[in-house]
């Protein structure tokens, strides 16, 4: 029988009163300010204009007489009174405040009970109260979102009417790891999966990529009326189910194959968690199955906030219609073995079916099936769909300049009671960041720019809390938001990694060189010293998506990951499993929490520079250089497509999507069109170099001490810094295309988007690249024109 979980859900907290509080300055306030500013100027009432343009921004200039190197930051703010502390003092506070014991305390708190999206209001109140205690005003932003909670599930195998196997669908309770045994622990299930009760023969579909399914079709194996069993990996889980559904499958099972765990496997003699670093065989990866490469956020309110009473759209096409469940490899074994010798085996198929077949040592032959008509699975998935509040906690420190805002955030919700890696390593760091800035406030710090802290809810189901918030405050953010800094999983190991808009790269290299690594094998080495210095492009998979891809706010995502180079591999991170727990983190992931603190320092310092540097520390040249590289890559791809020659990597990537034979439009005409892009990016590069040089010059002047009697130079400098900063603020916005990408209009950015067929991985120039993949060269030419327009707009915005 299926386990029914309503008893476990019954004691979930629900607040009777929903605090929907406007957080950061809501829309009317800023527009009032702006209107007032412009009206005043227009009326020639110089008093207010002088206030806004000069007196308030006087904070941009230094106070004390002190010799500075040009790129040092001067002592900060004035307006209602200058900051009592200098940037160097602020930096010292930010580097000295965070403590391992505190991060452990916060981590332990968040991971001691379930906190699925919308299900733990006491963590909301706790977070808000902590931030207030640290000296930062915080409110709760609530959204009514359409979401599912697990009621029951079952997976059993029958031979005719005879029960052959009943899957446990449970992760083992481990004595060493207390949160694995909570009576109210979260069942194994998929976010946004469909309810259903199906009984059918089954088929093994490998990773469930588009081409895996095509290989089955080529072998005349139909999924119609069958249950698909796929392994995790390669592409976003929702897309595996999407294709199975399109091919007529009635259900889908996803399991974690240890073959994808690298060197740390039982087969290689590595001990299993909790004794060792290999995957615990009963671990299950929960997760969302929303089709999120089409649109993140509440699926019933695409593009607008889920406030009470708003119209709701149907969810068809945004989430699966067939039931699915995630299972462990222990539960998968009897099912996979039942297929041994039936239908083609992985060996009869191409090499993509022979990768990481990690259960061979357990007797699995990886045959495809389908199972004979009498060998069937009964898959039951019962989900409670409901529209229920989610809660973001939003902390604000008002700066002197109300129209320049830095937002930093991390999500709080997890699939499990634990979540010590995802996301609460980030939450522990965020609390230490807030505490550090609170410490600075207590010592008289007055920020130059406004700083907003966000503890997002509902990230796991589909980036819901952050997406709804951005959709609500888009007019304000579009006007005032300078940058967004995200940390999701702060650490699961010692290897530093980042993805970012290239505007933000330079500052990361600078800051990483100012934070000591916890690894002091070589004394004094910094995070920068141990980092391969690669920064990936923005894809999706965390809360920066709405900022970067919808609002055009330059964003960065930071985190430490596993060190796979170790002889037995890295400790396997039990993603979305009960074993992503405090015990795992403190034993294997980050013993002693030193990398939590390193992340806290990087995050704080990076944020402080964005908030305090008189000249916003973005770099336009780096963006132009990156764009030039992306264009070259796309052109290589076009050449390869024309020549029909593909690299190993291209071929692996192509496994995720349909192969198109028929060509539309002319590839040579498109090739010709690229000259427009080269020209536009060259001119953007020139403008960017000039802009950055001007900015560097102003930064140097801001570091000099201009005597009071040269007041005109002072005013001119302030005026110019305001101007250059305003240009920096709006560069990223120039890459928004208001119609959005083809078939997924929510995504507005022409340079960055999640891969349509992979879900997580970043795609550059998605509109153009997808058209080339589709061999639709006419549509690609349309995208060349759209991109050229953006490049021209960006250049003009800088000139």
Q: Which residues are known to be catalytic? A: 459, 675, 749
Buried b (16+ CB within 10 A) or exposed e, 378-391: bbbbbbeeeebbbb
Listing DSSP states for 42-60 in one string gives: HHT-HHHHHIIIIIGGGGG
Q: Which is nearer to ligand NAG, 398 or 514 (CB)?
A: 398
Which of ligand NAG, Zn ion, none interacts with 122 (beta carbon under 5 to 8 A by kind)?
ligand NAG
CB of 333 to ligand NAG, least distance (A): 23
Which of ligand NAG, Zn ion, none interacts with 120 (beta carbon under 5 to 8 A by kind)?
ligand NAG
Task: State how far the Cα of 492 lies from the Cα of 494, in Å rounded to an integer.
Answer: 7
CB of 460 to Zn ion, least distance (A): 6
Q: Is 422 in the site for Zn ion (CB under 5 A)?
A: yes
Q: Is 580 in the site for Zn ion (CB under 5 A)?
A: no
Tokens, residue 65:
């007489």
CB of 489 to Zn ion, least distance (A): 6
CB of 525 to ligand NAG, least distance (A): 6
DSSP state of 536: B
CB of 557 to Zn ion, least distance (A): 11
> Do the beta carbons of residue 280 and residue 273 sit within 8 Å?
yes
Q: Which is nearer to Zn ion, 460 or 732 (CB)?
A: 460
DSSP state of 417: S
Q: Which is nearer to Zn ion, 382 or 422 (CB)?
A: 422
Task: State how far the Cα of 652 lies from the Cα of 755, in Å rounded to an integer.
Answer: 14
Q: Which residue in 529, 599, 588 sits closest to 562, CA to CA? A: 588
Q: Is 488 in the site for Zn ion (CB under 5 A)?
A: yes
Q: Which is nearer to ligand NAG, 168 or 398 (CB)?
A: 398
Q: Which is nearer to Zn ion, 422 or 732 (CB)?
A: 422
CB of 68 to Zn ion, least distance (A): 40
Tokens, residue 52:
């806004």
> Do the beta carbons of residue 598 and residue 662 sit within 8 Å?
no
Q: Which is nearer to ligand NAG, 173 or 715 (CB)?
A: 173
Q: Which residues bind ligand NAG (CB under 6 A)?
A: 2, 6, 9, 12-13, 25, 109-110, 112-115, 120, 122-123, 137, 151, 154, 184, 197, 220, 380, 384, 386, 388, 396, 398, 402, 494, 506, 519, 521-522, 525, 530, 563, 619, 621-622, 692, 695-696
Q: What pairs with residue 405 in β-bridges?
A: 450, 481
Listing DSSP states for 63-107 in one string gives: -S-----TTSPPP---TTS--SS-HHHHHHHHHHS--HHHHHHHH
Which of ligand NAG, Zn ion, none interacts with 488 (beta carbon under 5 to 8 A by kind)?
Zn ion
CB of 582 to ligand NAG, least distance (A): 10
CB of 466 to ligand NAG, least distance (A): 20
CB of 391 to ligand NAG, least distance (A): 12
Tokens, residue 275:
């004794």
Choose the stretch contacting Zn ion; rule: CB under 5 A; options: 414-422, 438-446, 500-508, 567-575.
414-422
What is the greatest pairwise CA distance in the chain? 95
Q: Which is nearer to ligand NAG, 162 or 738 (CB)?
A: 162
Peptide bond just before 423 cis, omega within 30 deg: yes
Half-sphere exposure for 453 (CA within 13 Å, toward CB): 33
Q: Which is nearer to ligand NAG, 425 or 619 (CB)?
A: 619
Q: Which residues contact 672 (CB under 8 A, 6 or more apart)?
A: none
Task: State how far the Cα of 517 lies from the Cα of 515, in Å rounded to an integer.
Answer: 6
Tokens, residue 249:
């499958």
Task: State how far the Cα of 488 lies from the Cα of 421, in Å rounded to an integer.
Answer: 9
Which of Zn ion, ligand NAG, none interacts with 726 (beta carbon under 5 to 8 A by kind)?
none
Residue nearest to ligand NAG (CB): 113
> Do the beta carbons of residue 147 and residue 383 sit within 8 Å?
no
Tell me the Cα Rg of the chain: 27
Q: Which residue in 295, 642, 601 sits closest to 462, CA to CA? A: 295
Tokens, residue 337:
């073995």
Which of ligand NAG, Zn ion, none interacts with 396 (beta carbon under 5 to 8 A by kind)?
ligand NAG
Which of ligand NAG, Zn ion, none interacts with 745 (beta carbon under 5 to 8 A by kind)?
none
Q: Which residue in 409, 737, 703 sits closest to 543, CA to CA? A: 409
Cα-based distances in Å from 564 to 494, 572, 596, 733: 10, 10, 19, 38
Q: Is 426 in the site for Zn ion (CB under 5 A)?
A: no
Tokens, residue 209:
């990529």
Q: Which is nearer to ligand NAG, 526 or 663 (CB)?
A: 526
# residues contacting Zn ion (CB under 5 A): 3
Tokens, residue 441:
């406030």
Q: Is 423 in the site for Zn ion (CB under 5 A)?
A: yes
Which of ligand NAG, Zn ion, none interacts with 681 (beta carbon under 5 to 8 A by kind)?
none
Count of CB atoms within 10 A of residue 142's CB?
Answer: 24
Binding residues vs Zn ion (CB under 5 A): 422-423, 488
């Amino acid at each position: 029988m299926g386990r029914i979980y309503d008893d476990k859900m019954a004691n979930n907290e629900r607040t009777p009163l929903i605090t929907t509080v406007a957080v950061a300055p809501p829309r009317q306030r800023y527009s009032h300010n702006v209107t007032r500013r412009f009206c005043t100027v227009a009326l020639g009432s110089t008093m207010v204009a002088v206030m806004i343009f000069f007196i308030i921004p006087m904070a941009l200039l230094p106070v004390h007489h002190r010799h500075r190197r040009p790129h040092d930051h001067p002592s900060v703010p004035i307006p209602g009174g200058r900051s009592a502390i200098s940037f160097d003092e602020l930096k010292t506070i930010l580097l000295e405040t965070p403590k391992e014991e505190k991060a452990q305390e916060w981590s332990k708190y968040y991971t001691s009970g379930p906190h699925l999206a919308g299900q733990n209001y006491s963590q909301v109140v706790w977070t808000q109260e902590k931030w207030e205690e640290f000296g930062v005003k915080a409110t709760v932003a609530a959204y009514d979102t359409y979401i599912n909670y697990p009621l029951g599930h079952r997976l059993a195998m029958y031979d005719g009417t005879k029960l052959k196997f009943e899957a446990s669908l449970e992760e083992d309770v481990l004595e060493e790891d207390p949160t694995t045994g909570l009576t109210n622990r979260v069942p194994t299930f998929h976010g946004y999966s469909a309810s259903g009760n199906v009984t059918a023969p089954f088929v093994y579909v490998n990773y469930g990529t588009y081409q895996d399914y095509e290989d089955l079709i080529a072998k005349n194996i139909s999924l119609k009326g069958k249950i698909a069993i796929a392994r995790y990996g390669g592409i976003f889980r929702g897309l595996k189910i999407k294709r199975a559904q399109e091919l007529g499958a009635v259900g889908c099972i996803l399991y974690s194959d240890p073959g994808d765990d690298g060197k740390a496997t039982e087969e290689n003699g590595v001990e299993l968690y909790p004794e060792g670093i290999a995957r615990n065989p009963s671990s299950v990866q929960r997760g969302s199955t929303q089709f999120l490469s089409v649109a993140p956020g509440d699926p019933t309110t695409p593009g607008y906030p889920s406030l009470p009473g708003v119209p709701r759209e149907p969810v068809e096409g945004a989430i699966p219609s067939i039931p699915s469940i995630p299972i462990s490899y222990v539960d998968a074994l009897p099912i996979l073995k039942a297929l041994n010798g039936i239908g083609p085996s992985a060996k009869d198929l191409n090499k993509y079916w022979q990768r990481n077949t990690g259960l061979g040592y357990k007797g699995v032959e990886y045959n495809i099936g389908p199972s004979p008509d009498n060998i069937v699975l009964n898959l039951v998935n019962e989900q409670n769909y409901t529209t229920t509040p989610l809660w973001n906690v939003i902390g604000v420190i008002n700066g002197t300049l109300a129209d320049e805002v830095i937002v930093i955030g991390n999500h709080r919700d997890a699939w499990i009671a634990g979540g010590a890696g995802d996301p609460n390593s980030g939450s522990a760091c965020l609390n230490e960041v807030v505490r550090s800035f609170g410490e600075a406030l207590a010592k008289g710090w007055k920020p130059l720019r406004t700083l907003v802290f966000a503890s997002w809810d509902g990230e796991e189901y589909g980036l819901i809390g952050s997406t709804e918030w951005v959709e609500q405050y888009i007019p304000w953010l579009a006007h005032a938001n300078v940058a967004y800094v995200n940390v999701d999983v702060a650490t699961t190991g010692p290897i530093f990694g980042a993805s970012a808009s290239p505007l933000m790269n330079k500052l990361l290299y600078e800051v990483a060189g100012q934070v000591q690594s916890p690894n002091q094998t070589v004394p004094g080495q910094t995070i920068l010293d141990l980092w391969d210095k690669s920064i990936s492009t923005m894809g999706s998979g965390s809360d920066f998506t709405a900022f970067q891809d919808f609002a055009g706010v330059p964003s960065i995502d930071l985190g430490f990951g596993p060190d796979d180079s170790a002889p037995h591999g890295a400790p396997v991170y039990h993603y979305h499993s009960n074993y992503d727990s405090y015990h795992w983190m403190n034993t294997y992931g980050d013993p002693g929490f030193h990398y939590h603190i390193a992340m806290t320092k990087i995050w704080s310092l990076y944020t402080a520079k964005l908030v305090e540097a008189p000249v916003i520390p973005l770099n336009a040249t780096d963006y132009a250089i990156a764009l030039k590289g992306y264009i070259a890559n796309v052109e290589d791809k076009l050449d390869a497509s024309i020549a029909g020659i593909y690299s190993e990597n291209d071929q692996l990537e192509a496994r995720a999507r349909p192969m198109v034979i028929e060509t539309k439009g002319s590839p040579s005409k498109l090739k010709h069109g690229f000259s427009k892009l080269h020209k536009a990016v060259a001119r953007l590069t020139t403008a960017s170099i000039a802009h950055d040089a001007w900015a560097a010059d102003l930064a140097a002047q801001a570091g000099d001490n201009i005597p009071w009697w040269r007041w005109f130079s002072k005013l001119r400098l302030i005026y110019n810094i305001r101007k250059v900063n305003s240009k920096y603020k709006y560069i990223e916005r120039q890459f928004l295309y208001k119609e959005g990408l083809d078939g997924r209009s929510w995504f507005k950015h022409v340079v960055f988007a999640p891969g349509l067929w992979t879900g997580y991985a970043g795609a550059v120039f998605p509109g153009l690249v997808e058209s080339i993949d589709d061999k639709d060269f006419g549509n690609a030419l349309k995208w060349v024109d759209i991109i050229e327009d953006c490049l021209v707009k960006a250049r003009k915005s800088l000139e």
